[in-house]
Each structure stands twice: as structure tokens, then as C-alpha cells.
Amino acid sequence: MAVKTATTVDPFDDARQRHAAGVFGMWLFLVMLAMLFGASILGYLVVRVNADPMEPFVPDDAPALPHLLLVSTVALLVSSYTMHRTVRAVRKGAQAAAARMAGATLLLAIAFLLLQVWAWLDLWRQNVRIDDGLYAWTFYVLTALHALHVIGGLVPLCVVCWRAARGRYSPQHPEGVVYCAMYWHFLDAVWLLLYATLWLGSLTW
């Protein structure tokens, strides 16, 4: 039965139903993002497979993908683990542990972005410019697309850190942490797929 107040009408009977609806809405949002990244990766593969043999997709003098991408991948994987620990701590009512894990996730997310910038600068110093061809253009655009979504995720992650530090979450109300974790794990999975695609695409076929 819906709950009606003087100003609003709550269509849910209790907090559990409200949380389930929020999780469902988050899944819909992630499906839309998956379509965006899926289309981008598919477009990259089509361009890579259909490259003109007379004009190699990967230039002969092109450097290998920066090794810093591996380091940034590790940072993102660890941040996914600390995000998982944040959710577990909230569900157990361990507010101090939740705050620590949320803070660690935020620091690792920032480290990931800094490592990505460092990798771009490394390629830039090797004269790999975004307008040098499809190989360089697709690398910069696809990695930047993911980085922008990580930057977007920093906002709710900062909110989670702030609220966790003040004990605003509980086993009965973990909603914000759960939604943020869903988004963060999604970004982790997308990056692994994106990095694998870029690595395979950089090989000489």
C-alpha cells in the first residue's frame, strides 16, 4: 500500500521494496551504458578487421601500448575489491571499516585516472598524436570515454565516503553504497573488456 504524506506519495510499502526498485533502476542504467560501450568496442573491431592491407591499421613505427595501463588495471581491480568490502562493512554495521574502504576506493580511482593520464603522456612523448590515424584516434577516444565515466563516478563515490564517515549507512539502509558499487563493478568489467580489445587490436595480424 502506498504511503501518503502531506507533500509526497511514496508508492512503496516499505524500505525493502524501495531498495529493490532502486536496484532495478540501476540495472537499467547500466544496460544503457553497456550498449554505449558495446557499440564503441564493436565499432573499433569493425574498423580493425576491415583495415586496408595496403595501409596497416597499426603503423610500423607505432609503440606498444604503455605498460602503465597494466598498473592502472591493477589499481581499478583493487578498487573494485575495496568497494565490495565497503558494501560488506555497511551490511555488517561496521561503520568505521566502511569509511576506510570507501576512502581507499576513492584514492584508487584517482590513482587509476592519474595513471591513465601518464600513459597518454607517454604516448604523446613518443609522437603518437590523436590525429595520426585510426590506431591512435581509437586508443585515445576509447580510453577517454571510459575515463570520463570514472570521473563521473567520483561524485557519488565522494558522497559515499562523506556519508560513510558520518555513519549515515546501516544494514537496513545500504542503498547509496549498493548503487555506487554496482556502477563501480560495471566500470571495472568494461575496462577489462576494453583493455583486452585494445591490446588485441594493437597486434600485427
CATH code of residue 48: 1.20.120.80
Q: Write the pLDDT tens digit of every residue in 54-77.
A: 777 888 888 889 999 999 999 999
- Here the cell at position 11 is 508508492
- Tell me what pLDDT residue 3 has: 45
The verdict on residue 19 lying in a domain is no
Count structural domains, the chain.
1
pTM beyond 0.95: the answer is no
Measured distance CA(113)–CA(82) in Å, rounded: 17
Q: Is residue 95 part of a domain?
A: yes
Q: What is the domain extent for residue 40?
A: 28-201
Q: Is 6 a residue whose pLDDT tops 60?
A: no
* Cα separation, 113 vs 19, whole angstroms: 31
Surface-to-core class of residue 201, CB atoms within 10 Å of its CB (0-12 exposed, 13-18 middle, 19+ buried): buried
Q: In this structure, is residue 196 part of a structural domain?
A: yes
Q: Report H helices in 50-128.
A: 68-92, 95-125
Residue 14 lies in a domain: no
Q: For residue 2, tell me if it sits in a domain.
A: no
Does 174 map to a domain? yes
47 in a domain, yes or no?
Answer: yes
Q: Is residue 21 part of a domain?
A: no
